[in-house]
Structure 1
């Protein structure tokens, strides 16, 4: 159990003294960039999925006829 408490203690020390945290403004800008790209990527996936669904539907209608 001593190893676990040492790990936690060293982790907090690392986060406190050795990590460079972004400023609030920088964090806001990066968050907006992530949100924009997430929405764009979701729309792209939706579009490709709709296109493939339409192609598969056309194929099965053609085979059924």
Structure 2
């Protein structure tokens, strides 16, 4: 039981005193970067999907 209590105390001390938490500004900037990258990737996938749809439509109209 003593080992478990020691583990929790050491974990708490590490989280409070040794971990460098980001500031609110850093966190906001990171969120904006992630959101922007996600939108760019989603737009890229949309364009690729739209292109493949047109290609398949063209192929199926010529074959059938």
What TM-score range do you get, normalising by the shorter chain? 0.7 to 0.9
Tell me, in whole angstroms, the C-alpha distance in 1 between the residues paired with 2:13 and 2:57. Answer: 58
Structure 1 distance, partners of 2:46, 2:11, is 41
Q: What count of residue pairs does the alignment treat as equivalent?
A: 60
Structure 1 runs of 4+ off > 6 angstroms?
A: none
Which deviates further from its counterpart, 14-23 or 48-57? 14-23
Gaps of 5+ in 2: none
Using the size of structure 2 for normalisation, the TM-score is 0.76
Deviation at 1:47, TM superposition (A): 0.6
TM-score scaled by length of structure 1: 0.75
The equivalent residue for 2:59 is: 59
Deviations 1:4-62 (A, max 9, x none): x56x7254443223321111111111110110110110000011011001101100001
Do residues 40 (structure 1) and 4 (structure 2) align?
A: no
Q: Return 5+ residue gaps in structure 1 as ranges.
A: none
CA gap 1:63/1:33 in 2 versus in 1, 3 angstroms? same
